[in-house]
Amino acid sequence: MSREVVLDTETTGVDARNGDRIIEIGCVELINHCTTGRTFHTYLNPERAVSEGAFAVHGLSDAFLADKPRFAAIADQLVDFLGDARLVIHNAPFDVGFLDMELQKLGKPRLRPERVVDTLVMARRKHPGASNSLDALCARYGIDTSRRVKHGALLDAEILSDVYIELLGGRQADFGLSAPPQGRRMVAANDHSAQGEPADDAGATGSLPVRRTKPRPIHLSVEERAAHQRFIATLSGAVIWKDYVATAEETKT
C-alpha cells in the first residue's frame, strides 16, 4: 500500500525567515494514488498581521483568523495525520520552509527532504518551457477550477491531487494485479484445488498469481455437444472450429 498526502498552505506573506507564518493548512490523503476521503484542514492564528499582497491572494483577514488556534495547538494532530507518508506539494520549498520553521519552534523534527515530491519540478520536466502554475496545469489537463475564486489550502490540495495523478500519467483503475503481500501468494480463480483462496507460501513472497499450465477441461452434456456439432455442420470452411472441437475432446478425459 502506497500512502501519500497532498499538502498546501496559505501564509501571512512569502518569507518565513522574516517572520511570516502559516494561516491555513490543507491535506488530502491518497492510497495507491486514489483519494480516500480523509483530509486534514485548519485555519491558524499567526499572531501577526496578514500582508496586503497575501490577503489579495487568499482573502483571509486578521479579524477572521483572530479566534483560530495557534500552530502549537494542532501540531501533534498534523504530525499524526502526515505519519510517514510521502508529501506531494506544488513548489515544495515554499510550504516546507514554513512548516519546518513552525515545527522547529516546537522542538519537533523537520520534514525529511527525501519524502517530499514537488509537482512543480515534475511539471517542468514534463512540460519544459510552458507555464506550470497550478492554474495552468489545471487548464492543460481539463481539471475544473470553477470553485477556486480565491486560493484556499484544502481546495488547492484537492485540485493538486488531480494534477498529480495527471502528471503521473492519468488515473488508472487497480484490478488487483499488483504483487500480493509478503508471505502470501495469489491463487488464480480457475485453480479449483483452492477455489481462489490465498494460501500460505513463505517461499512465494511477492510472486505473481498462479496460472494453470493446461487448458481447463470443457464440461458439456451429450445434448450440448450434439447441438454444437449440428451448428458446425452449417458453417462452410469451418476448419478452426473442427480443430477446437477435437482439442476439447482430448481434454475432456
* Residue pLDDT tens, the chain, 253 long: 799 999 999 999 999 999 999 999 999 999 999 999 999 999 999 999 999 999 999 999 999 999 999 999 999 999 999 999 999 999 999 999 999 999 999 999 999 999 999 999 999 999 999 999 999 999 999 998 887 767 899 999 999 999 999 999 986 544 444 444 443 333 333 333 333 333 333 333 333 434 444 555 566 778 888 887 787 777 766 556 566 655 555 544 4
Whether 88 contacts 30, CB under 8 Å: yes
Say whether both 14 and 111 belong to one domain.
yes
150 in Cβ contact with 58 (< 8 Å): yes
What's the total number of domains in the chain? 3
With beta carbons less than 8 A apart as the criterion, state whether 5 and 86 touch: yes
Give me the helix-helix angle, 119-126 and 153-168, nearest 10°.
Answer: 40
Q: Are residues 40 and 116 in the same domain?
A: yes
Cα-based distances in Å from 221 to 233, 250, 252: 19, 15, 11
Residues 182 and 113 in one domain: no
Residue 72 maps to which CATH number?
A: 3.30.420.10
Judgement on whether residues 142 and 243 belong to the same structural domain of the protein:
no
Cell of 13: 506573506
Q: Could you say which of 168, 195, 230 is where a domain stops?
A: 168
What are residue 51's phi and psi, to 5 degrees? -70, 155
Residues in the chain: 253
Active site residues: 151
Range of the domain at 126: 3-168
In this structure, are 132 and 203 located in the same domain?
no
- The number of C-alpha atoms within 13 Å of 40 and in the hemisphere containing its C-beta is 21
Co-location of 242 and 129 in the same domain: no
E strand map for 131-227: 184-185, 199-200
Say if residue 243 is in the same domain as residue 201.
Answer: no
Q: Are residues 118 and 187 in the same domain?
A: no
